[in-house]
Amino acid sequence: MSSTFKISVTKMDFGVSEELSGKVYDTIIIGGGPAGLSAAIYAARYGMSTIIITEEIGGQVGKSGWVENYLGYTRIMGPDLVTKFEEHVKYYNVPIIIDSVENVERDGDLFKVYTLNGDEYTGRTIIIAVGEKKRKLNVPGEDAFNGRGVSYCAPCDAPLFKGKVVAVVGGGDSAASAALLLTEYASKVYLIHRRNQLRAQKYYQDLLLKNPKIEIIWNAVVKELQGDKLLRKAVLQRVDTKEVLELPLDGLFVEIGAEPPIELFKRMGLELSQDGYIKVNHLMETSIQGIYAAGDCIDLTPRDFRQIVVAAGQGALAAYSAYNYIIRRYGFNRR
């Protein structure tokens, strides 16, 4: 069997990256969130030569607040959980390339992976675990104040708003978690939601309603963001009455869901659901033989139940299926 390499590199390490790109891997994992990292651990334990290519390690978990429902941790911050995941993967000496995959093409019995950095990697199988990217509000002022009051990562930026007034846009678990985390720093936290009830699980809802720092603004959407060098206020509109109001703010955190990289999937020729998620069967097999998918980018898990533990389990199953494919097709003595 091929051996793994005892290094972890980034896209800036051009020489090392070139060395790694000259190998044929049993599996190339695209994505470094819970699904991808879990797949890497299982693939390595199966003795498969494995590499991870990802834009960032941890995915959305690294941008999460307190995680209180992952087995083995009663309460841990998302970035800290990612550190644990990464340490586990590095224990198995799986290389992690920080880069963006532009396309995957079949080359005979193999697959070629092309990256934004200009590198090319060859694999016998592919595991797609790219997750989703956070949606934007797409309102005037959002891009102008990005990093100057507008944020998409509460754990990253919450400490910057100590004693300030902030708002979170959204109504799901991620929005609720962000709002609760922000109360540890901000003096006031608004939760802006377009409906009259939240989608977040009851546990979160109870905590929100009990927290004196949090005020929920129901039936409202953000229409515009205004300020000078920094964000100063959000212009809201009531969904029911169409009333327009201004909300003075120092910070706005956007938590309105996410979507997969549909264009990449289309270039690869994968069969997708109507809303752009990869169709898989119970073994994480896609419509292309030798390509597997797991995590938040697949059309299997309910959209409102994107859980770390589910993604990790799917990643393990994808590695299991890739391993069985390798054995059936190449046997144990592949080179």
Per-residue exposure over 156-181, b if at least 16 CB sit within 10 Å of its own CB, e if not: ebbeebeebebbbbbbbbbbbbbbbb
The DSSP code sequence of 13-37 is: -HHHHHHHHTSEEEEEEE--SHHHH
Of 217, 222, 220, nearest to 239 by C-alpha is 220
Mind listing the pLDDT tens digit for each residue in 203-212?
Answer: 999 999 999 9
Count, residues in the chain: 335
Q: What is the 3-state secondary structure (H, E, C) of 221-261?
A: EEEEEEECCCEEEEEEEECCCCCEEEEECCEEEECCCEECC
Mind listing the pLDDT tens digit for each residue in 52-110?
Answer: 999 999 988 988 878 888 999 999 999 999 999 999 999 999 999 999 999 999 999 99
The pLDDT score that the predictor gives to residue 11 is 38
Both structure tokens of 287:
């419509």
| Phi and psi angles of residue 226, each rounded to the nearest 5 degrees, phi first | -130, 160
The pLDDT score that the predictor gives to residue 19 is 62
Q: What number of CA atoms fall less than 13 Å from residue 166's CA on the CB side?
A: 31
Residue 156 pLDDT level (bands cut at 50, 70, 90) = confident
The pLDDT score that the predictor gives to residue 17 is 53
How far is residue 25's CA from residue 55's CA, in Å, rounded to a whole number?
19
The pLDDT score that the predictor gives to residue 128 is 98
Residues ≥6 apart with Cβ < 8 Å to 190: 165, 166, 167, 168, 214, 215, 216, 217, 247, 249
Q: What is the 3-state secondary structure (H, E, C) of 61-75?
A: HHHCCEECCECCECC
DSSP secondary structure letter of residue 159: G
Residue positions annotated with a catalytic role: 153, 156-157
pTM: predicted TM-score of the whole model, two decimal places: 0.77
Q: How many CB atoms are located within 10 Å of the residue 200 CB?
A: 23
Mean pLDDT of 14-20: 52
Q: Is the dihedral of CA 82, 87, 89, 95 positive or negative?
A: positive
How far is residue 33's CA from residue 60's CA, in Å, rounded to a whole number?
7
Mean pLDDT of 197-206: 94
The pLDDT score that the predictor gives to residue 335 is 59
User: To the nearest whole number, what is the mean pLDDT of the chain?
Assistant: 91
The pLDDT score that the predictor gives to residue 39 is 98
The pLDDT score that the predictor gives to residue 240 is 92
Walk across the sheet containing 220-227 and list its strands: 220-227, 231-238, 244-248
Mean pLDDT of 219-244: 97
Both structure tokens of 123:
């694999």
Mind listing the pLDDT tens digit for each residue in 233-258?
Answer: 999 999 999 999 999 999 999 999 88
The pLDDT score that the predictor gives to residue 175 is 95
pLDDT at 219 over 60: yes
Mind listing the pLDDT tens digit for each residue in 273-316?
Answer: 999 999 999 999 999 999 999 999 999 877 768 899 999 999 99
Percent of the chain with pLDDT over 90: 81
How far is residue 216's CA from residue 171's CA, in Å, rounded to a whole number?
10
